[in-house]
A and B are shown apart, each in its own frame.
Chain A
């Protein structure tokens, strides 16, 4: 099974600033997918962004983008112009449904 490591249990960002959440993974596959999910307080987990490993271009969804470094097996999430509604647990996940320990993001007004 693929494994996922998130080394930042908690992160904090000022509203309107940029924050980067880190994720590393381990896989023996050559083609695979990576995901970032968001779990707002007391709400359901939802997808933030998805990246296919063979695509060179980093995925982007509005204010959310990834920095995918295949050789380093690194998959970080950048949130630009942070908003109060971005406060949540963020989980990095692989295509074989394995998740990291999560990063709790706090957004300060």
Chain B
């Protein structure tokens, strides 16, 4: 019954490494989102996408990029990981439209540690 799958549950990377976080959904949703979750800060929106090959910056896009080559897959890329990017990363998806009524379906999260 898995609907949003994040490929890695735990990752440990070194400063300066390029990091890929993968997210796949099987619900044919148009919208996909990447958040980071930090204690005391909640969820902060990094990037989102409303369609294949489309992307929009969220509130904290600096240091991140994304790729959406297929509808079901949305990747978050850290070009050069830094220690302040140590966090829990959550992927989510929702159907198109709905005037903001759509419920997000979340993945289990990817906990990234940058040493």
B-contacting residues, A7-28, CB 8 Å: 9
Map CB proximity to A onto B38-62 as digits: 1 under 8 Å, 0 otherwise: 0011111100100000000001000
Complex interface: chain B residues within 8 A of A75 (CB): none
In Å, the complex CA distance between A93 and B100 comes to 11
Q: A-side binding surface: helix, strand, loop or mixed? A: loop
Nearest CB in chain A to that of B100: its residue: A95
Nearest CB in chain A to that of B108: its residue: A44
In Å, the complex CA distance between A99 and B88 comes to 15
**Residue contact B48 to A97, C-beta cutoff 8 Å:** yes
Mark A residues whose CB is within 8 Å of B: 1, 4, 6, 9, 31-33, 35, 37, 43-47, 50, 52, 91, 93-102
In Å, the complex CA distance between A47 and B106 comes to 10
Complex interface: chain B residues within 8 A of A43 (CB): 108
**Residue contact B40 to A99, C-beta cutoff 8 Å:** no
**Residue contact A101 to B33, C-beta cutoff 8 Å:** no
Nearest CB in chain B to that of A53: its residue: B100
Complex interface: chain B residues within 8 A of A9 (CB): 40
**Residue contact B101 to A95, C-beta cutoff 8 Å:** yes
**Residue contact B106 to A45, C-beta cutoff 8 Å:** yes
Complex interface: chain B residues within 8 A of A102 (CB): 42-43
Q: How far is the CB of A5 from chain B (nearest CB, A)?
A: 10
Complex interface: chain B residues within 8 A of A96 (CB): 100
Nearest CB in chain B to that of A52: its residue: B101
**Residue contact A45 to B90, C-beta cutoff 8 Å:** yes
Contact partner, A44, options B44, B48, B100, B107, Cβ 8 Å: B107
* B99 in contact (CB, < 8 A): yes
**Residue contact A33 to B100, C-beta cutoff 8 Å:** yes
* B89 in contact (CB, < 8 A): no
Complex interface: chain A residues within 8 A of B59 (CB): 1, 98
Complex interface: chain B residues within 8 A of A94 (CB): 100
| 8 A-B pairs closest in CB distance | A95-B100, A101-B42, A99-B43, A45-B106, A102-B42, A99-B42, A47-B103, A33-B101
